Structure 1
Amino acid sequence: MRLVVVSAGLSVPSSTRLLADRLAEATARRAATARPASADATRAPGSAPDAAAPGPASAGPVPAGSASVDVQVVELRELAVEIAHNFTNGFPGPALSAAIDAVTAADGLIVVTPVFSASYSGLFKSFFDVLSVSDKDAVAGTPVLIAATGGTARHSLVLEHALRPLFAYLRAIAVPTGVYAASEDWGAEGLAERIERAAGELAGLMAGAAAVTASTASAAATVPTAPATAATAASTATAAAPVVRGAGGGVPGPASATVVPFAQRLAALRP
Structure 2
Amino acid sequence: MTENRARRIAVVSAGLSKPSSTRMLADRIADSTVARLEEQGFDVTVDTFELRDTAQDVTNNMLTGFPSPKLEDVIEKVTTADGLIVVTPVFTTSYNGLFKSFFDVIDNQALVDMPVVIGATAGTARHSLVLDYALRPLFTYLHSVVTPTGVFAASADWGDSGDKVKTLHDRVERAAGELSALVAVSTRSTEVRDPFALDASFSPTGAYVID
2:167 is aligned, of 190, 201, 205, to 190
1:224-239 map, 5 Å:
none
1:18 aligns with 2:24: yes
TM-score of the pair, normalised by structure 2: 0.82
Q: Does structure 1 retain, via aligned residues, the 8 Å contact 2:81–2:189? A: no
Separation in 2 of the partners of 1:4 and 1:136? Answer: 17
Report the AA paired with residue 6 of structure 1: V
Separation in 1 of the partners of 2:166 and 2:45? Answer: 30
Separation in 2 of the partners of 1:112 and 1:207? Answer: 22
Q: CA RMSD for the aligned pairs? A: 1.7
Q: How many residues end up aligned between the 2 structures?
A: 180
Partner of 2:64: 89
Pick 1 or 2: higher relative contact order, CA cutoff 8 A, min separation 6: 2
Separation in 2 of the partners of 1:87 and 1:150? Answer: 27
1:217-256 map, 5 Å:
none
Partner of 1:257: none
Separation in 1 of the partners of 2:18 and 2:94? Answer: 21
TM-score of the pair, normalised by structure 1: 0.64
CA gap 1:119/1:213 in 2 versus in 1, 3 angstroms:
closer
2:97 is aligned, of 88, 99, 122, to 122
The ranges of structure 1 where at least 4 consecutive aligned residues each deviate by more than 2 angstroms after the TM superposition are none
Identity, in percent, stands at: 57
Aligned-pair CA distance for 1:170:
0.3
Aligned-pair CA distance for 1:155:
0.1
Separation in 1 of the partners of 2:141 and 2:26? Answer: 23
1:163 aligns with 2:135: yes
1:21-36 map, 5 Å:
21-34=27-40
Larger radius of gyration: 1
Unaligned runs of 5+ in 1: 35-52, 54-66, 215-271
1:102 is aligned, of 51, 56, 77, to 77
Separation in 1 of the partners of 2:109 and 2:65? Answer: 18
